[in-house]
Amino acid sequence: MFRFKKKRIDVTILGGIVGNGLSWFDFTLYVFFVSTFSDLFFPTKSQFVSLAITLSVFASGFFIRPLGGFILGYFGDLYGRKNILIFTTVLMGVATSLIAFIPTYAQIGMAAPIILIILRLLQGFAIGGELNSASSLLVEHAKKNARGLAGSLVMSSTFVGMLLASAVATFVTMILSHQQLITWGWRAAFLFAGLAGVVALFIRFHTKESPKFEAAKKLISGSTKSAFKKNLHFLFLGIVITSSMAIAVYFLIGYFTTFIVETQGFSLKDAKLIGFISTFVLMCLVPLFGFLSDKIGRKPIVLSSTLSFLLFAYPILFLISQKSFTLVLLGQILFAITLAPVSGVVSTMLAEFFPTKIRNSASAIAYNISFAVFGGTSPLIAIALVNWTGNIMAPAWYLMGCAFFSTIAVLLTKDNYKGDLL
């Protein structure tokens, strides 16, 4: 366990980790019911069009994330990380619970997808202020030689939330008939996810505010605007560095499941089992690389991911494109191993880029712009590339192209893993 600057901080650790994990559980659950939502809310004569529309709604939650990151990040810099985390927990829980009660297209027509989109946007707004506020809270509490591990625990909890979403979706899919699933099973999953936020809310009310933020409130002078101007290059580099990770994350938890079901003939149960196992591997490896980054630096760890994407994206996706359960599972596990290093380090790296005065907002903007532009759109872009080119390997080239620019951006940064937070 890493050491913090203050004692009696266990609840704060839980507030950052458990709350973040449950928020991502809520946000990610949608992607595991893409096929279900496609039939219930976006029925068309073309399977591709229905899937594309459903994935576009998934992406809409990402498009609003930069706005949520900017507004909630700004208030987090102004009023504290703890207060924003309480707000995001409430908003996410309410929006997710309401999704469980939306009538279908067959019942109320176009109003159904419109309501779904609105609630998805509220989820996206909430998640925009979530991860980076939690990262700022824990990184600012941690000692200098444990910041990488602190940030990686928050990111690992993100994958715990995604894993929980996968587990719940897999569970209801396996125990219910298809008719039960589309009638009420998916609704039960969303209601459970929304109500789980009560646990996070209770914990977050008892967390401690960041000591770095408390000190900064008394000492910082000057405008936020000028601080942003001085750090615009870090904002840009942060967006580019995060881009390949954003694509890879939603290839793993979104695109691959849809791809092997719709084009490779896998059952939904097998596809979700593969996704569950590979996400579990990713979750376990993330803290290891966060810990390692405290020893050898952030840059070598991130470069190990971006260079691996360049070298191995094509052969890994080749494995995933096979019709063998074993080969697809192997491919997704290798993909998770490749993704783990950058996932374990990026939140801490972003936190170290910016001074306390703008850390919450600047890191949230960089992270969420990258995930809005590259992450939320990646499943849609991937199926579009396959559909347009007729080449099931086309998504690999997209990931490799972004990984190239991420590698350049990492090389242009200065590693601050041994320095004090600004």
The identity of residue 36, as a single letter, is: T
Report residue 282's pLDDT band, with 50, 70 and 90 as the boundaries: very high
Indicate whether 8 pLDDT > 50: no
Check residue 1 and give its pLDDT. 42
Indicate whether 9 pLDDT > 60: no
Helices (H), 104-231: 105-108, 111-128, 131-141, 147-175, 178-180, 186-204, 211-219, 224-230
Indicate whether 91 pLDDT > 80: yes
Report the range of poorest mean pLDDT among 84-93, 221-230, 318-327, 332-341. 221-230
pLDDT, tens only, 287-327: 999 999 999 999 999 999 999 999 999 999 999 988 889 99
> Which H or E run includes 53?
helix 47-63
pLDDT, tens only, 29-42: 887 787 788 778 87
CA distance 322 to 332: 12
Instruction: Give DSSP secondary structure letters for 64-110.
Output: THHHHHHHHHHHHHHH-HHHHHHHHHHHHHHHHHHHTTPPPHHHHTT
Closest CA to 184 of 116, 257, 102: 102
Indicate whether 340 pLDDT > 50: yes
Q: What is the DSSP letter of 266?
A: -
Helices (H), 205-297: 211-219, 224-230, 232-250, 256-262, 268-296
Check residue 299 and give its pLDDT. 93
Indicate whether 285 pLDDT > 90: yes
3-state secondary structure (DSSP) of residue 319: helix
Tell me which CATH code domain 10-411 carries: 1.20.1250.20
Q: Determine contact, residues 289/341, Cβ cutoff 8 Å.
A: yes
Tokens standing for residue 66: 């930069």
CA distance 285 to 301: 12
pLDDT, tens only, 160-186: 888 888 888 888 888 888 888 888 888
Backbone φ, ψ for residue 4 (5° rounding): -105, 165
3-state secondary structure (DSSP) of residue 177: coil
Q: Once rounded to an integer, what is the mean pLDDT over residues 359-364?
A: 86
Check residue 4 and give its pLDDT. 45
The identity of residue 153, as a single letter, is: L
Q: Determine contact, residues 25/170, Cβ cutoff 8 Å.
A: no
Q: Once rounded to an integer, what is the mean pLDDT over residues 324-341?
A: 94
Share of the chain above pLDDT 70, in %: 93
The mean predicted confidence, pLDDT, of the chain is 84
Report the range of poorest mean pLDDT among 119-123, 222-226, 357-361. 222-226
Report residue 402's pLDDT band, with 50, 70 and 90 as the boundaries: very high
In this structure, is the dihedral angle defined by the CA atoms of residues 220, 222, 224 and 229, taken in order, positive or negative? negative
Indicate whether 129 pLDDT > 80: yes
Q: Once rounded to an integer, what is the mean pLDDT over residues 202-224?
A: 71
Q: Once rounded to an integer, what is the mean pLDDT over residues 130-140?
A: 83
Check residue 298 and give its pLDDT. 92
More confident residue, 195 or 262: 195
Q: Determine contact, residues 252/339, Cβ cutoff 8 Å.
A: yes
Give the contacts of 352 (CB within 8 A, at least 6 positions apart).
139, 147, 298, 416, 417, 419, 421
Residue 222 class from Cβ within 10 Å (0-12 exposed, 13-18 middle, 19+ buried)? Answer: exposed
CA distance 303 to 241: 10
Report residue 222's pLDDT band, with 50, 70 and 90 as the boundaries: low
Enter the pTM of the model: 0.80
Share of the chain above pLDDT 90, in %: 27
pLDDT, tens only, 383-393: 888 888 888 88
Check residue 410 and give its pLDDT. 92
Check residue 361 and give its pLDDT. 85
**Chain Cα centroid distance, residue 62:** 10
Closest CA to 122 of 70, 74, 60: 60
Q: What is the DSSP letter of 181?
A: I
Query: Whats the size of the chain, residue-wise?
Result: 422
